[in-house]
Amino acid sequence: LFSFAGKNIICMVGAGISTSAGIPDFRSPGTGLYDNLQKYDLPYPEAIFDIGYFKEHPEPFFALARELYPGQFKPTICHYFIRLLKDKGLLKRCYTQNIDTLEPHGTFYTSHCISASCRQQYPTSLDERSGVMYSKCEKCNSLVKPDIVFFGESLPARFFSSVQSDFPACDLLIIMGTSLKVQPFASLISKVPSSTPRLLINKEKAACLAWVVAMDFDSEKAYRDVAYLATCDDGCRKLAELLGWKEELEEMVKHEYAKIDSSSATGAASSQQRQPKGKTEAKADTTKPRKNNLAIAE
């Protein structure tokens, strides 16, 4: 796959690249998000991200969003491998289904009023004491939500323009941690040239939908599709080793984790100093990664 000077690599990623950070995926039986939403009394699991349901019942989403708030989880080895591709000038673009903010420039950081006549922008904010996020627009009193795309909403125009320019020029497609069940994301795999190698790193072979040009790993005619069945972190370690980048990737992870830990310790100390004198209120430290939180990534 890397026996050529690929300069236009596209990564397509899903929830599987973040599970090692402690964030459950959506569909794994028993542990996935959709199997653990009973407390919200939803009509169906996906309703928590359905724009119609959100307009009537926003509370379940905001409860989840508090768990997902940026700063609680560290990027994974897979995230840093993608960054390494970028630093080396090899990454054309990363197309992600995730809203966990572990990739740069996550759309969770900004919010908009959902009223079409208002669309007032806000920074996504969380009150450290109450855990309350923005929920109502100060101008029109409509709901405010983070700038993630819900079911029932249109993708931004930039998505479609980027697809048109990126995929015809792609000389290697790397697909990681996704079941390829959500459209239009899943159909992107068919938009690269027929000669472009496609590498899937996933725990199982993705079940592409019938109308998508499926990946061919096993037939006698298979010529460009490769499946590496493992965790995304293990797959990226193996790629880095084959490319001679293993030590560079390990050093990047070590350096970045040290920076995150240092920042977290500083933030925790500063927060402690802000506590009112005479009070002994117990407070959870939300600056450090936590395991088993009901947070999501897709």
Render pLDDT for 155-208 as a digit per residue (tens, 0 to 9): 888 899 999 999 999 999 999 999 888 888 889 999 999 999 999 999 988 755
Does residue 236 have a known ligand-binding role?
Answer: no
Give me the pLDDT at residue 61, please.
85
Kindly indicate the confidence band of residue 35, based on its pLDDT and cuts at 50, 70 and 90.
low
Percentage of residues of the chain with pLDDT beyond 70: 73
Does residue 59 have a known ligand-binding role?
Answer: no
How many whole angstroms separate alpha carbon 48 and alpha carbon 2? 40
When mean pLDDT is compared across 37-41, 168-172, 219-223, 276-280, the lowest value belongs to 276-280
Give me the pLDDT at residue 179, please.
84
List Cα–Cα distances, 171 to 32, 80, 208, 226, 236, in angstroms: 33, 21, 21, 14, 18
Kindly indicate the confidence band of residue 287, based on its pLDDT and cuts at 50, 70 and 90.
very low
Kindly indicate the confidence band of residue 254, based on its pLDDT and cuts at 50, 70 and 90.
very high
Count helices and strands in the chain by DSSP H and E runs: 6, 8
Going by C-beta distance under 8 Å and a sequence separation of 6 or more, which residues neighbour residue 79?
A: 17, 18, 102, 103
Please tell me whether residue 123 adopts helix, strand or coil conformation. strand
* Residue 40 pLDDT > 60: yes
* Residue 17 pLDDT > 80: yes
9 within 8 A of 169, measured Cβ to Cβ? no
Strand partners, 202: 229
Give me the pLDDT at residue 24, please.
66
When mean pLDDT is compared across 54-63, 83-92, 155-164, 280-289, the lowest value belongs to 280-289
H or E stretch covering 144: strand 144-146
Identified catalytic residue from 57, 79, 105, 255? 105
Q: Which two tokens stand for residue 194?
A: 């027929």
Does residue 62 have a known ligand-binding role?
Answer: no
Does residue 254 have a known ligand-binding role?
Answer: no
- Give the model confidence (pLDDT) of 103-145 as tens digits: 765 567 788 999 999 999 988 776 655 556 767 899 999 999 8
Rounded to 5°, angle at Cα 169 from 163 and 170:
85
169 within 8 A of 175, measured Cβ to Cβ? no
Is the pTM value of this prediction over 0.85? no
Q: Which two tokens stand for residue 159?
A: 């998505």
For the CA atoms of 112, 115, 117, 123, the dihedral, rounded to the nearest 10 degrees, stands at -10
How many whole angstroms separate alpha carbon 185 and alpha carbon 12? 8
Does residue 98 have a known ligand-binding role?
Answer: yes
Give me the pLDDT at residue 277, please.
47
Mean pLDDT of 195-223: 80
Kindly indicate the confidence band of residue 294, based on its pLDDT and cuts at 50, 70 and 90.
very low
Does residue 175 have a known ligand-binding role?
Answer: no
Catalytic residue status for 105: yes
Does residue 207 have a known ligand-binding role?
Answer: no
Does residue 11 have a known ligand-binding role?
Answer: no
When mean pLDDT is compared across 41-45, 152-156, 282-286, the lowest value belongs to 282-286
